[in-house]
Structure formats: structure tokens, C-alpha cells
């Protein structure tokens, strides 16, 4: 059975609440997942907006989430190293941790939260970029799951 990624904050394809955007407190949404494959040593998560005016915009990079973890609370602190050993990367705002939706006015944008189950811990430093993460994960992805939410400003 494939992994499933969900959030109590919004349904698949639903609107991301203001609390999790730059128009609110900008807290990361709570996320949970099920059906991680056997042999999972760690998880990595990327949140990105493919609808940004300049192309793909990365909102969150977090990796080395322990393999026995099945959720992230809302409001993950914006530290490079977290107490459970997870590391956060640099988003396209140039900051560590989650940077919520902040689209220009007009059509709502889509935000994809992609979770990867990995067969290893990654030797990447905190502050790694999405591209560094994708390269390091190559050949180590056991499964992946996706949750998409939308957010727009009228």
C-alpha cells in the first residue's frame, strides 16, 4: 500500500488556512502520514509552488526526519537542527524552515507537499537546498506521497 500524506488543516486540493501563510502567523501546517514502507530509515519533505511568476518556488525543505516518526506538528520551529535530529534546508525566501504561501494577487497557486521515505539518513548539512536534497536522495527513495493545497489573494 502506498504512503498517504494528510493534514488536519486542509484536505487534498483544499485551501490552506491563513494561519499557514505569510498573511497570517506563517506556521507550518501539521502533517501526518501512513503506510511507510519497511526499511524506511528517514523521511524528507519538500513544499513547492509551481505556479510562482518566476517558476518553481521552494517553501520548505526538511530532511533526516527519523524513520519511526509519522507526523510533524504545526508550527515546526524555524531552526536548522531540530531536537529529533531532523535538519531544515533553505527555502527560496533565503531562510531556514517553512515559509508559507505568499502569492501575488490573482489566481490561487498550488502548493505541493511531497514526502519521501528513504532507506538512509542523508549526509547533507542543515541549510541544504531542494536541489541538493533531490540529488542526495537519488537511489534512496522507497516511496513518496503528495498533498496539494491552494492559496490565493483576491
Residue 119's CATH number = 3.90.280.10
Per the structure, the count of domains in the chain is 1
For 20-33, what is each residue's pLDDT tens digit?
A: 999 999 999 999 99
pLDDT at 154: 78
Which residue stretches of the chain have pLDDT < 70? none
Domain span holding position 34: 4-151
By percentage, how much of the chain surpasses pLDDT 90?
Answer: 99
Per-residue CA distances from 149 to 8, 53, 92, 142 (Å): 12, 18, 19, 24
pLDDT at 1: 87
Residue 88 burial (C-beta neighbours within 10 Å; 0-12, 13-18, 19+)? buried
Amino acid at each position: 500500500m502506498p504512503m498517504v500524506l494528510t493534514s488536519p488543516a486542509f484536505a487534498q486540493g483544499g485551501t490552506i488556512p491563513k494561519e499557514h501563510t505569510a498573511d497570517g502567523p506563517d506556521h507550518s501546517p501539521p502533517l501526518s502520514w501512513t503506510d511507510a514502507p519497511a526499511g524506511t530509515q528517514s523521511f524528507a519533505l519538500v513544499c513547492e509552488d509551481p505556479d510562482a511568476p518566476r517558476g518553481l518556488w521552494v517553501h520548505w525543505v526538511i530532511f533526516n526526519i527519523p524513520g519511526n516518526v509519522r507526523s510533524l506538528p504545526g508550527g515546526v520551529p524555524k531552526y536548522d537542527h531540530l531536537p529529533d535530529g531532523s535538519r531544515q534546508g533553505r527555502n527560496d525566501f533565503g531562510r531556514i524552515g517553512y515559509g508559507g504561501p505568499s502569492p501575488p494577487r490573482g489566481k490561487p497557486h498550488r502548493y505541493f507537499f511531497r514526502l519521501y521515505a528513504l532507506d538512509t539518513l542523508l549526509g547533507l548539512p542543515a541549510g541544504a537546498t531542494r536541489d541538493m536534497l533531490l540529488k542526495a536522495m537519488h537511489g534512496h527513495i522507497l516511496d513518496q506521497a503528495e498533498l496539494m493545497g491552494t492559496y490565493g489573494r483576491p
